[in-house]
Structure 1
Amino acid sequence: MSRPRERILNTTLLLFHQQGFNSTGINQIIEEAKVSKASFYQHFKSKDELCIEFLNIRYDYWVSELEKFISSTSTPEEKILKSFDFLIYMNEKEDFRGCSFWNILSEIPSDKEEIHSVLRYHKNKLRIFFNDEIKNEAVAAHAYLLFESSILTSQLYRSNELIETSKTIIKNILHPSH
């Protein structure tokens, strides 16, 4: 059996992603991770601290999956379009659960500044990805906003239709003459 911290994190990754932050209690995590309450608090002072660790791990996982998915591309345009295909892949893999970051954001009050700061930090790294690939700030912002809204709308409608539409919009923005 793995170490208590690993079991807590693995359990949290599953529960926060499937149930959300508010619906997952520390007692459930303790029970499902098969750790004592003392052991839990030895590793994490609070549920907020655990949430921050969850967000960092989830981000690292998501980015590594995205990088693998787009690794066969050679041009910035291919990378951007393939990143939208990645959303379709993740929807199929995770049953349209959406973005853990947006899901957590919708659940936590604005006074949880440490969590908000982590959310902004990682979302900003995604914005930088689009800026680095597109080189035009306004177009990159448009692509980023389409990407984020594609995640939200595909979760809402349990459909990849608007991801495909976003790809068409991106092609038209990058090549206005077509």
Structure 2
Amino acid sequence: MSKSKNSLSKRDEIIEVASKLFYEQGYHCTGVQQIIQEAGAAKGTFYSHFKSKEELGIAWLKARHATWNHWLLQFINPKKTPKSKIVGIFDFLGQWMQDANFRGCAFLNTMCETPDCENALRLEISNHKRELFELFRALTAEHHATKTKIEQEQIATTLFILFEGTLIQLQNFQDLSFLQVAKKQVTALL
């Protein structure tokens, strides 16, 4: 949920406008001029905060990371067990995709637009995904405390791949039956 425009700094307002446009239109389809215009900023103001579109893109991905993780943790933290939190991550996925009209993941969408693996945007995307993978690892280790580290890693990796694959299929087909199939596999792994 966004803050009121009056409580945002101009920098934050630019990021908020860019976030909406990048997510709805795509990173490369959104120009700096459109962001400046919709944010009601002067060109000089924009460039005093961001030296380039890529710098704005990195700021956007960092902000999106914090927001998305807040949504996820707010959704799963009330759950009592590691197992219910893992299943809750998939419940969150279904709710999030419906709320976003199946627009998909801002990070994956941007990754598809950024073929250079060394690009700074791709590094931010990897950091975001790595943190989600670490959450699966931690919850899996807690839930399967009696399993070996190798078994825990195999299960956590499978859960992460199920999440990412389900996310893509939900975006592609806009059909929640993919989520139901994934949740059956999650339950079997746990």
Q: Please report the TM-score for the alignment, with normalisation by the length of structure 2.
A: 0.88
Please, which of 144, 163, 167 is the counterpart of residue 151 of structure 1? Answer: 167
Q: Cα offset for 1:101?
A: 0.3
2-side partners of 1:97 and 1:125: how far apart? 21
Query: What CA distance in whole angstroms lies between the structure 1 residues aligned with 2:73 and 2:157?
Result: 20
Task: Tell me, in whole angstroms, the C-alpha distance in 2 between the residues paired with 1:82 and 1:7.
Answer: 32
Count of matched residue positions in the alignment of Structure 1 and Structure 2: 174
**Which residue is 2:72 aligned to?**
66
Aligned-residue sequence identity (percent) comes to 33
SS at match of 2:115: coil
Partner of residue 154, structure 2: 138
Instruction: State the TM-score, normalizing by the size of structure 1.
Output: 0.94
The counterpart of 2:62, out of the listed 56, 70, 84, is 56
Q: Structure 1's 132 and 111: CA in aligned 2 closer, same or farther, altered over 3 A?
A: closer
5+ residue gaps, structure 1: none
1:29-69 Cα distance to aligned partner (Å, 9 max, x none): 00000101111100001111111111111111111011111
Q: What corresponds to 1:170 in structure 2?
A: 186
RMSD over aligned Cα, in angstroms? 1.1
Match of 2:147 in 1: none
CA deviations on 1:57-97 (whole Å, 9 max, x unpaired) are 11111110111111221111110111101011111211001
Is there any run of 5+ residues in structure 2 with no aligned partner, and where?
A: 1-5, 142-151
Give the match's secondary structure for 1:52: helix
Give the counterpart letter for 1:94 in structure 2. Answer: A
Q: 1:102 aligns to what?
A: 108
